[in-house]
Amino acid sequence: MSFILEVKNLTKRFGALKAVNGLSFRVRQGTISALIGPNGSGKSTTFNLITGHLKPDSGTILFEGHHLEGLPAEEIARLGIARTFQTPQIFTHLTVLENVLLSVYQRKRPGLLSSLLRLPNFFKKEKEAQEEAFVYLERFFLADEAHRPAEGLPLGKLRHLELARALALKPKLLLLDEAASGLDPREKIDLAEALTSLPQEGITLFWVEHDLNLLMEVAEEVIVLDQGEKIAEGPPREIQRNPRVIQVYLGEEHA
């Protein structure tokens, strides 16, 4: 199996702090891989470097052989990387359906002229886009809420909506930044069920999550960070009994 993402010697400093320090790892295509570590260990910074929201000081990031370092976030998204955020990024003044439609349009980029003139082709494309958006809404249990404003949705629904938006971009790699945070146990199970089938559809998941029990259930490979450095990597069963990982997490509990 090939690697969809290869990170080598990645470093990001904020002043004197090395938030990510000489980090190297690879993510296999078609898997669920997890990135874990205590608070402040560099997980979100790593995600931000991969998606172009931050520029690395040094190191390389290869996505399907393309160098990502230095590329703008929009270009990286176009190559096939989508993400979700710790705080869901939703257009609250738009309806649930419109939020997902934006992603569908972003991918399809219908001809501007045909949209402006509302040519017959425009209405056909509009209908197709709506049908497509509903596929994602149904997948994340949002079809009944399609026409209500996103504002006021409970957190669980907002997380689902953000996932629907991300998947409507048809990414090859989806980075999940605490997608289960704030969800109740039932919602977490629904979320895990909706996400674990994605690798069979060719979508690779790279997942940061504080709920380690959830990740250990779904991930095939786990990378562990501490103070910006990789301290362990391997299948969940090995990671759970790795003395260094246990020490770091015990240290966090007693902090």
Ligand X SMILES: Nc1ncnc2c1ncn2[C@@H]1O[C@H](COP(=O)(O)OP(=O)(O)OP(=O)(O)O)[C@@H](O)[C@H]1O
Binding piece for ligand X, criterion CB under 6 A, among 39-47, 140-148, 158-166, 231-239? 39-47
Is residue 45 involved in binding ligand X (CB under 6 A)? yes
Q: How far apart, in whole angstroms, are the C-alpha atoms of residue 109 and residue 151?
A: 26
Closer by beta carbon to ligand X, 40 or else 236: 40
Closer by beta carbon to ligand X, 40 or else 149: 40
Is residue 213 involved in binding ligand X (CB under 6 A)? no
Closer by beta carbon to ligand X, 146 or else 175: 175
223 and 32 Cβ atoms separated by less than 8 Å: no
83's tokens: 């993400």
Min dist CB 179 to ligand X, Å, is: 13
Angle 203-206-212 (CA atoms, 0-180°, nearest 5)? 130
5 and 173 Cβ atoms separated by less than 8 Å: yes
Q: How far apart, in whole angstroms, are the C-alpha atoms of residue 169 and residue 127?
A: 17
Task: Work out which of 10, 19, 96, 183 binds ligand X, going by CB under 6 A.
Answer: 19
Is residue 41 involved in binding ligand X (CB under 6 A)? yes
- Phi/psi for 249 (5° steps) reads -75, -35
Min dist CB 125 to ligand X, Å, is: 39
Binding piece for ligand X, criterion CB under 6 A, among 2-10, 36-44, 71-79, 90-98? 36-44
The four Cα atoms 37, 90, 27, 217 give a dihedral, to 10 degrees, of: 60
Min dist CB 116 to ligand X, Å, is: 40
- Binding-site ranges for ligand X (CB under 6 A): 14, 17, 19, 37, 39-45
